[in-house]
């Protein structure tokens, strides 16, 4: 049976929040202002808030907060990577909470957003009521290398198309080349095809083991900004220490749900086992045969059921 989400809704409020160093975050709030506050941390790095995400919550019961991280989506300036590191993003979440006068909230994050959720909860456990991490990314070098250099066979053709953007004589990896082209050069003739090939490959990895989709690539400037931010973060291993769970004991009082597909090509299922070992109270929901994509039927159903149990 196909999972039916809550109906589409428009934000009840939105705005831009200055967080320093010239950055302004675009935020939006939906649902019931007197309801249970919950913040959704989007993935990427480099992605943005999606109208789909707020449809996982009953708008009569929840006050649903979404925002675009530094350099992403409608936040300003688009694609900016100066003063844009993970420590800034964690501080931004707190800044937004205070701006909206929310004492405590629940936190949901998928993929890179799951990494941010874990880091935020370790930094500010007293501000978190409960958490859900879907397909969490742990920012390890192995994950980054597998994504950028070792795709599963079903994604290899699109990875080779991405790899072909790198001049053979340069002997650079895709990530090294991309970081230089997006972050240090202003050659749109290089940036556009590289961003398009990267987006196409990433979309295939996202839906694996399902067939790679045909995607509309959209605005070239937005794509360049997305992969400028993503390459900036991945090149620096997301600006985290050796172990993203170094202070996991600080989450010992936070109810945590993990939802993870066991055929995820981007963030391996073992990530959630690692989290569960560090946070013993975590409830792990294994989606058999599921990939990384939130709209994978099994992933969608498991995530929706977990969130609709919140009251």
Catalytic residues: 111, 264, 292
Q: How far apart are CA 59 and CA 77, in angstroms?
A: 31
Q: Angle at Cα 108 formed by Cα 269 and Cα 150, nearest 5°?
A: 30
Q: How far apart are CA 210 and CA 273, in angstroms?
A: 24
- 239 Ramachandran zone, left/alpha/beta (phi>0; psi -120 to 50): left
Q: How far apart are CA 216 and CA 203, in angstroms?
A: 11
183 token code pair: 């972050």
Q: How far apart are CA 17 and CA 190, in angstroms?
A: 33
The pair phi, psi for residue 128, each rounded to 5°, is: -115, 120
193 token code pair: 């095809």
Ranges assigned E (strand) in the chain: 13-20, 23-31, 36-41, 62-67, 105-110, 128-134, 256-261, 283-287
If we measure between CA atoms, which residue out of 108, 102, 53 comes closest to residue 310?
A: 108
If we measure between CA atoms, which residue out of 93, 209, 195, 101 comes closest to residue 151?
A: 209
């Amino acid at each position: 049976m196909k999972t039916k989400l809550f109906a589409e809704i428009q934000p009840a409020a939105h705005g831009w929040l200055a967080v320093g160093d010239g950055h302004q975050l675009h935020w939006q709030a939906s649902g019931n202002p007197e309801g249970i506050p919950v913040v959704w941390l989007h993935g990427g790095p480099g992605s943005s808030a999606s109208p789909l995400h707020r449809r996982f919550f009953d708008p009569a019961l929840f006050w649903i907060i979404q925002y675009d991280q530094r350099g992403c989506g409608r936040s300003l300036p688009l694609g900016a990577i100066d003063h844009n590191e993970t420590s800034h993003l964690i501080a931004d979440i707190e800044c937004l909470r205070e701006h909206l006068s929310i004492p405590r909230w629940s936190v949901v994050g998928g993929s890179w957003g799951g990494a941010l959720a874990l880091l935020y909860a370790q930094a500010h456990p007293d501000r978190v009521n409960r958490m859900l991490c879907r397909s969490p990314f742990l920012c390890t070098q192995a994950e980054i290398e597998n994504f950028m250099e070792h795709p599963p066979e079903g994604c290899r053709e699109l990875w080779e198309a991405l790899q072909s953007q790198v001049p053979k004589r340069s002997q650079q990896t895709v990530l090294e080349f991309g970081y230089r082209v997006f972050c240090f050069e202003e050659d749109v003739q290089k940036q556009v095809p590289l961003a398009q090939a990267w987006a196409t490959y990433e979309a295939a990895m996202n839906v694996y083991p399902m067939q790679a989709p045909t995607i509309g690539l959209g605005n070239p400037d937005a794509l360049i900004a997305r992969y400028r931010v993503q390459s900036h973060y991945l090149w620096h291993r997301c600006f985290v220490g050796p172990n993203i769970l170094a202070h996991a004991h600080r989450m010992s009082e936070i109810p945590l749900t993990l939802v993870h597909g066991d055929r995820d090509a981007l963030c391996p299922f073992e990530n959630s086992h690692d989290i569960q070992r560090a946070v013993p109270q975590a409830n792990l929901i294994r989606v058999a045969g599921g990939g990384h994509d939130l709209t994978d039927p099994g992933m969608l159903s498991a995530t929706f059921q977990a969130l609709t149990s919140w009251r």
